[in-house]
Chains A and B, each alone.
Chain A
Amino acid sequence: MNPKKYLTLTRMGIMESLQFRMSTVIIFVGNLLYLIVVYFLWKAIYASSGQEVVNGMTFSDTLIYLVLATALFNFMEMYTVWQIGRAIQSGSIVLYLLKPMEIRRYIFMEYSGNFIVNFFATLFPTFIVVNIVTHGAVPLGLNLLYFVVSVVIAVMINYNIDFFVGTICLYTESIWGINIMKQVIVLLLSGATIPLAFFPESIRNIVNWLPFQSIYNTPLTLLLGKTADIKDVAVILGTQLFWFLATYAVSKLFWKISLPQITVNGG
């Protein structure tokens, strides 16, 4: 394995995403609007409950969580479903298949440059701003290291799920509905739109057994320093790693059995 072969794709990705400066600005504005909505929505929720602490979280806890979740979403969202879906529809999937590199790796590496740009453009600044505004709501310690490790695994779980859903496009030949469905399921069940603490007990139990909470809930919990015990951290990261391996295996297998849709039945 030659790392240069892969890193060159990362480099291209960075260069390409820097070409689209305006889109960064627009995403920034869009997020700001979203966060304003989130702020007033949760303010209303807390006001109507009449309590300071709901489900173990204060208003500012919830808000910090959701702001960071939004930043994390913008960092992690790869639009892989669209990319695979469109490649299938237009037939340009052939060009991917004819690269001297496995398609899963190629598409991931092709996007990887955006992670680096997004980190400096959204995730890191959000983190700084949150910490300044809240006078240090996020502890600065080992939790940052756990967070980084956890995000790396989360990114890959997210990619595996995206690739799995993208593969479904081979059968359906449509992208929009499938992508929306995926997005709703992932964002809801991962705790990206509503903190998992707010879920009813029974649903929470189910969610805990699904891979989605590993994408947003796990890294954010680690970041906010709610788990200090090293044993707990190991269990959490271990679970995440398990989900990475499981989603990797499933999505790889699904692609393998679906590829004949192209190679046998034609694109």
Chain B
Amino acid sequence: MAPVIDIKNITKEFKVLNRREGLAGSIKDLFSRDYKIVKAVDNITMSIEQGEIVGYLGPNGAGKSTTIKMMTGVLEPTSGEILVNGKLPYKNRSKNAQNIGVVFGQRSQLWWALPLVESFKLLKDIYQISDEQYDSMMKLYQSLVDIEPLLHKPVRQMSLGQRTLSDILAAFLHDPKIVFLDEPTIGLDVSMKAKIRTLIHALNKEKNTTVILTTHDMGDVDALCRRIVIIDKGKMLYDNDISHLKGFFGSYRTLKIRVDGDLRKESEVIAKEFPALKVGADEEWISVLVDEEKISVMDVLTKLQKERRIRDMQLEEISTEDVIKKIYEEGVE
């Protein structure tokens, strides 16, 4: 089957005016023709299949939104090929709109003053959704979240969480092939985040909708995505399964122990015992970073135990967050 989104070597350049400092500079800027070219997206290639949930990650200003805008057809790439549902999105924006749904974090497409159900009815008419499809969608929504009380509430009286939830439901209403979610859980409390993740997951399963998710919350990524794409400064850094990601830096785990006596002195002793490992200490714990490809955590623990009494211990997996942070900071070797 052909991929729903097929991107080959796309690049997007923006012309930005070189601004000068100060009042005199601002006045000079009025007449300036001194532009510089900024590459927001630089030679990115990827293809996404129907039904995938792809986490699209990158630090602020990495070029995520620019890529998403190109996929939706709002921006035209400077060079390269982009096909969404087999068509050029920027040439067929209105038609393409029928096949995509979008949720942009803090921007709502709902009618502020009216109850939610009115916005849904509007979407039903402008996307020309049949009565049967609309009813079945409503039934599905009702089975996933308690939508009934929300439907009759004016949108402006909703909490941020309820509004985001409603916006996501609105984006899925016309059963699009692809839904773009741009930071859907931003500013939400833990329980609402969990609710929204469950909802997205269920909608993706039920409707086989492709979901492109940009987020800074690794919780979203862990809960939803099997595949992640990371970009920074417009360049693609990583595109693979999330499980590969951890292997990327070796299979590191952090062993934390607490012993009697001065932790800092003890940690120096341990460092001498295991010259290959990184050992550190703080007020509460001595932490040993173990690369399991070289030595198992159990071996380290056994050796440590022979010399001293361990009063408490913890084992920490390296988190997605740590890995991503490492990639943002150091890049991929």
A residues within 8 Å of B by Cβ?
A: 2, 4-5, 8-9, 12, 15-16, 19-20, 90-92, 94-95, 97-102, 260, 262-267
Q: A16-B114, A90-B107, A263-B76 are in contact. Are A100 and B94 (CB under 8 A)?
A: yes
Contact of B43 with A by CB under 8 A: no
A92 near B107 with CB under 8 A, answer yes
**Alpha-carbon distance between A5 and B174 when the two chains are bound, in angstroms:** 14
Within the assembled complex, what's the spacing in Å between the Cα atoms of A182 and B34? 31
Q: Is the CB of B97 within 8 A of A5?
A: no
Least CB separation from A2: chain B residue: B128
Stretch at the interface among B118-126, B205-213, B259-267, B323-331: B118-126
B1 to A: closest C-beta gap in Å: 25
Inter-subunit contact A266/B75 (CB<8 Å): yes
- Report A218 CB to chain B, min CB distance, Å: 33
Stretch at the interface among B98-106, B183-191, B247-255: B98-106
Contact check, B113 vs A99: say whether CB atoms are below 8 A apart: no
Contacts A98-B97, A99-B97; is A263 near B90 (CB within 8 Å)? yes
- Tell me whether A15 and B118 are in contact in the complex, defined as CB-CB below 8 angstroms, given that A98-B102, A265-B15 are known contacts: yes
A-B contact pairs, 23 of them (CB 8 A): A5-B125, A8-B121, A9-B126, A15-B118, A16-B113, A19-B113, A90-B107, A92-B104, A95-B104, A98-B100, A99-B126, A100-B97, A101-B94, A101-B126, A260-B76, A262-B74, A263-B74, A263-B75, A263-B90, A265-B15, A266-B14, A266-B40, A266-B69
Q: Which chain B positions have C-beta within 8 A of A5?
A: 125-126, 128
Contact between B14 and A8 (Cβ–Cβ < 8 Å)? no
B192 to chain A minimum Cβ distance, whole angstroms, is 23
Q: Is the pair B102, A95 in contact by a Cβ cutoff of 8 Å? A: yes
Contact A12 B90 (CB under 8 A): no
Question: Complex: how many Å from CA A266 to CA B125?
Answer: 30
Chain B minimum-CB-distance residue to A266 = B14
The 6 residue pairs across chains A and B that have the minimum distance between CB atoms: A8-B125, A19-B113, A100-B97, A100-B98, A92-B107, A263-B76
- What DSSP secondary structure best describes chain B's contact surface? mixed
- Which residues of chain A are within 8 angstroms of B114 by Cβ–Cβ distance? 12, 15-16, 19
Q: Is the CB of A20 within 8 A of B100?
A: no
How many inter-chain residue pairs (CB < 8 Å) link A and B?
78
Contact A102 B126 (CB under 8 A): no
8 A Cβ contacts from B1-52 to A? 14-15, 40
Q: Which of A95, A98, A101, A267 has the most chain B CB atoms inside 10 A of its CB?
A: A98
Given contacts A5-B125, A9-B122, A266-B66, contact A95 B75 (CB under 8 A): no
- Given the complex, which residues of B lie within 8 Å of A20, measured CB to CB? 113
* Interface size class of chain B, counting residues whose CB lies under 8 Å from the partner chain: 20 to 34
**A94 and B106 alpha carbons, distance in the complex (Å):** 13
Distance between Cα atoms of A4 and B127 in the complex (Å):
11
**8 extra interface residue pairs, beta carbon distance < 8 Å, beyond A15-B114, A97-B93, A101-B94:** A8-B126, A19-B154, A94-B72, A98-B73, A99-B94, A100-B126, A102-B94, A264-B75
- Using known A-B contacts A19-B113, A266-B75, determine if residue A100 contacts B95 with beta carbons closer than 8 Å: yes
Residues of A within 8 A of B75 (CB): 262-264, 266
Is there contact, CB below 8 Å, between B107 and A95? yes
Residues of chain A within 8 A (CB-CB) of B126 are: 5, 8-9, 99-101
In the bound complex, residues from chain B placing their C-beta under 8 Å from that of A91 are 107
Contact with A along B41-85 (1 / 0, CB 8 A): 000000000000000000000000010010011111000000000
B68 to chain A, nearest CB (A): 10
B73 — which chain A residues lie within 8 A by C-beta? 97-98
Residues of A close to B97: CB separation below 8 A: 98-100
Contact with A along B213-236 (1 / 0, CB 8 A): 000000000000000000000000
CA distance A9 to B125 in the complex (A): 9
